[in-house]
Amino acid sequence: MKVKSRVQLRKNVKNKMLKDLEYALGEEMVELEKKTLEKVTLDEFSLILVDGKPLLFEIEGHLFPTVRGALEMGLQKRLVIVDKGAIRFVSKGADIMAPGILEADPEIKEGDLVIIVEETHRKALAIGKALMEGQQMVDADSGKAIKSITHVGDKLWNFEF
């Protein structure tokens, strides 16, 4: 991944970004208000560094936590819980199939960005885009439910300056 630019965000831009994130996730981002946010533009998308760590990214005009960000922030909304059998596939970037989903936030709508977590420790494994609504994911017997965008161990996960 090639860095095209890196700039520190002004307070008004940062505040608007945090409001958008709070709206999208339905959770307050109070801990981020006091931190330094930088926007790094890459080939595929933009990363938001929080005190130098890639905790957020911008994709298709939406701001969302990276896998590392989801782990650090302990988010409780937009979660999709997968069974143990799906972990090794999800961790390698596979799309998430409906039979492997145990639970999903019922507020998830088709097209929403979601956090895929494993059932035992509820740790984030991947970020993806919902291909169906939350309740459908749980009820469906077959089919692809989530398109994987980024996962543990990929180039975004390992991104450093």
Domain extent listing, the chain: 3-73, 79-151
Neighbours of 137 (CB within 10 A): 28
- Would you identify the CATH topology of the domain 79-151? 2.30.130
pLDDT (0 to 100) of residue 1? 75
CATH, range 3-73: 3.10.450.120
Give the mean pLDDT per block of 10 residues along the chain (161 residues).
Answer: 87 89 82 89 88 90 91 91 95 96 96 96 96 96 96 88 63
- DSSP string spanning 47-79? EEEETTEEEEEEETTEEEE-HHHHHHHT--SSE
User: Which residues have a Cβ under 8 Å from the Cβ of 160 and sit 6 or more positions away?
Assistant: none
Tokens at 35, concatenated: 């931190």
Helix (H, G, I), strand (E, B) or coil at 108: coil
3-73 and 79-151 share one fold: no
Tokens at 99, concatenated: 């039979």
Residue 114: closest CA among 76, 157, 158, 60: 76
DSSP 32: H
Backbone dihedral angles phi then psi of residue 95, each to the nearest 5 degrees? -70, 155
4 touches 45 (CB < 8 A): no
Cα–Cα distance, 91 to 52 (Å, whole number): 24
Which amino acid is residue 38, in one-letter code?
Answer: E
**H or E stretch including 27?**
none
111 touches 81 (CB < 8 A): no
Cα–Cα distance, 99 to 87 (Å, whole number): 13
